[in-house]
Structure 1
């Protein structure tokens, strides 16, 4: 994880699927868990989804709140 990845979680949006247009940091936990079970997509979006899953899974989602604009 690089420091700029945290900013990307707050600014990048899902490019596809049920939650298209939602920022990665705002995705519901059950959606992140689905990707963890089924497999994360390749590339940067998959890496960011995996990072957000780890943040959520470890109960650290609240740490992102002060960083939101």
Structure 2
């Protein structure tokens, strides 16, 4: 299932709420961290859905899609 437009806009502007990378945009999390989190299991809820999407984007080299959304839809 493809994410909807508003989900991607929200993802583009969401920052990590806790941990070592607190306050970093999810799309800017280091790839190794997202891969580690994927193997550990993402949290439940919207944050987990967003991190799952970030994982898929990073694995396919599509981070620039989210960066373009950040520019097109500034908060």
Per the normalisation by structure 1, the TM-score is 0.88
Larger radius of gyration: 2
2:10 aligns with 8
Task: Output the CA distance in 2 between the equivalents of 1:44 and 1:65.
Answer: 20
Task: Output the CA distance in 2 between the equivalents of 1:27 and 1:35.
Answer: 11
Q: CA RMSD in A?
A: 1.2
Per the normalisation by structure 2, the TM-score is 0.82
Kindly tell me the number of residue pairs found equivalent between the two proteins.
Answer: 69
Give the ranges of 4+ consecutive aligned residues of structure 1 lying more than 3 Å apart after TM superposition. Answer: none
Between the two structures, name the one with larger relative contact order (CA 8 Å, sep ≥ 6): 2
Secondary structure, in 3 states, of the residue corresponding to 1:68?
Answer: helix
Task: Output the CA distance in 1 between the equivalents of 2:11 and 2:68.
Answer: 13
Residue 15 of structure 1, CA deviation: 0.7
Give 5+ residue unaligned stretches, structure 2. none
Give 5+ residue unaligned stretches, structure 1. none
